[in-house]
């Protein structure tokens, strides 16, 4: 078997929302299709991939480096041992040939887009939902049928006040979510506390509300916010400072008693390992949010889980960033603690299949081969129109 073609497109997910660091008025994603010569149900198997929100499309890197390397490779160098499927690890090595270590930049995003499409194809060729394939290969067959998800939103938005924020959170609760997350750090502390209290009045329990500063604060500000947040007993305090400032996290962790969450902007196993080594995170409460697409794909995420397993951290501390079906499959198949969700943002790439509503804060997965894109009509329609 072989890869017949790989194509990529750029799609817009622009919106006027803003967090403490960036706005999304020009946000894009890369979408890739990996076409194989394997036939299932009378058609060639095609795997699809795209990058999570927050980093931009990677068309240039894909076209100039990563796609040509796969196209030029002899199929015998990326087939599985039995010769009947793709080997995502061998393909990863082919994509990363002649790339120096460190300095990951956003090449990790480009590689992650192809990696998602490869895993989608691998599971389709094996006629399994991806989460069952992952459970069978890497988790002793144990797959979760339903996964904890929380509703991420609460962005800053022109003309959006407390009332609109409450309305948004109410929609999430009505849709079946129990836990919600809002942005902080894009307004003065007093105003953010007012936003937090307005949402707490809806969810009643601090454990059902997380806040996200998107890496905005210096240590003094992170501590000032931490002191103000501590009495609320929030679910977690996310990305208080620069994702690579491990000392800031270590200092904050000695003072802020509640869970700290971070990791969505660490794009390699080595950066994540440094986080565990140097950021003073507490394995009994803190949350690790590495994104399995932005950080070189699932092949690299499996390396991260290896590090985690070797350092006494439980996988249920992992709740990936991204809010899409791929990360949901990984959470269900590899025993993670949950997955992010953006019920009203980044459509159609965010969100889950049409027939698996969120109930009591959990969501199931469709029993179709692959990641499940074909069970999410708005997404598969958009993907097919991009490649038409």
Active-site residue set: 183, 321
Shortest distance (Å) from residue 262 CB to Mg ion: 9
Shortest distance (Å) from residue 118 CB to Mg ion: 26
Q: Output 212 or 271, the one with its CB closest to Mg ion.
A: 212
Q: Output 115 or 212, the one with its CB closest to Mg ion.
A: 212
Sign of CA dihedral 306, 312, 315, 320: negative
Write the interaction track for Mg ion spanning residues 183-212; mark x where CB under 5 A is met and - where it is not. Answer: -----------------------------x
Q: Output 211 or 269, the one with its CB closest to Mg ion.
A: 211
| 145-159 per-residue burial string, b: 16 or more CB within 10 A, e: under 16 | eebbbbbbbbbbbee
| 315-327 per-residue burial string, b: 16 or more CB within 10 A, e: under 16 | eebbbbbbbbbbb
What SS3 string covers 323-376?
Answer: CCHHHHHHHHHHCCCCEEECCCCCCCCCCCCCCCCCECCEEECCCCCECCHHHC
Please, which of residues 3-62 interact with Mg ion by CB under 5 A? none
Q: Output 212 or 374, the one with its CB closest to Mg ion.
A: 212
User: Which position's Cβ is nearest Mg ion?
Assistant: 212
Please, which of residues 210-239 interact with Mg ion by CB under 5 A? 212
Shortest distance (Å) from residue 280 CB to Mg ion: 20
What is the rounded CA–CA span in Å between residue 33 and residue 20?
33
- For 28, 185, 346, the CA distances from 156, given in Å and listed in that order, are 19, 10, 15
Burial grade of 219 (CB within 10 A; 0-12, 13-18, 19 or more): middle
Interaction of residue 126 with Mg ion, rule CB under 5 A: no
Shortest distance (Å) from residue 212 CB to Mg ion: 4
Q: Output 51 or 356, the one with its CB closest to Mg ion.
A: 51
Residues binding Mg ion: number (CB under 5 A): 1
Shortest distance (Å) from residue 249 CB to Mg ion: 14
Which residues lie near Mg ion (CB under 5 A)?
212
């Amino acid at each position: 078997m072989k890869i017949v073609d790989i194509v990529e497109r750029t799609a817009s997910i622009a919106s006027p929302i803003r967090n403490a660091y960036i706005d999304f008025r020009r946000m894009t994603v890369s979408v890739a299709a990996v076409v194989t010569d394997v036939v299932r149900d009378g058609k060639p198997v095609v795997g699809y991939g795209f990058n999570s929100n927050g980093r931009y499309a990677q068309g240039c890197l894909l076209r100039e480096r990563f796609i040509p390397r796969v196209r030029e490779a002899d199929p015998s160098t990326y087939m599985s041992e039995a010769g009947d499927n793709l080997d995502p690890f061998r393909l990863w090595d082919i994509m990363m040939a002649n790339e120096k270590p460190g300095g990951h930049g956003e090449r990790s995003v480009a590689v992650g887009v192809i990696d998602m499409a490869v895993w989608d194809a691998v599971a389709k060729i094996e006629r399994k939902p991806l989460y069952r394939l992952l459970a069978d290969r890497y988790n002793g067959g144990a797959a979760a049928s339903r996964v904890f998800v929380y509703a991420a939103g609460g962005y800053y938005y022109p003309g959006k006040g407390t009332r609109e924020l409450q309305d948004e959170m109410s929609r999430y609760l009505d849709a079946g979510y129990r836990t919600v997350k809002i942005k902080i750090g894009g307004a003065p502390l007093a105003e953010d506390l007012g936003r937090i209290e307005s949402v707490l009045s809806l969810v009643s329990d601090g454990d059902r509300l997380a806040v996200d500063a998107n890496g905005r604060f210096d240590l003094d500000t992170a501590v000032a916010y931490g002191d103000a947040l501590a009495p609320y007993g929030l679910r977690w305090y996310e990305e208080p400072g620069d994702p690579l400032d491990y000392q800031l996290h270590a200092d904050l962790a000695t003072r802020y008693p509640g869970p700290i969450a971070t990791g969505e902007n660490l794009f390699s196993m080595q950066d994540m390992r440094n986080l565990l080594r140097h950021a003073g995170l507490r394995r009994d409460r803190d949350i690790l949010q590495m994104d399995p697409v932005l950080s070189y794909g699932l092949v690299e995420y499996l390396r991260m889980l290896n590090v985690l397993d070797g350092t006494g951290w439980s996988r249920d501390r992992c709740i990936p960033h991204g809010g899409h079906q791929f990360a949901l499959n990984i959470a269900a198949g590899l025993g993670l603690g949950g997955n992010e969700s953006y019920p009203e943002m980044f459509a159609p790439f965010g969100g889950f299949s049409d027939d698996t509503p969120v109930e009591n804060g959990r969501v199931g997965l469709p029993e179709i081969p692959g990641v499940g894109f074909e069970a999410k009509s708005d997404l598969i329609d958009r993907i097919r129109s991009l490649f038409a």
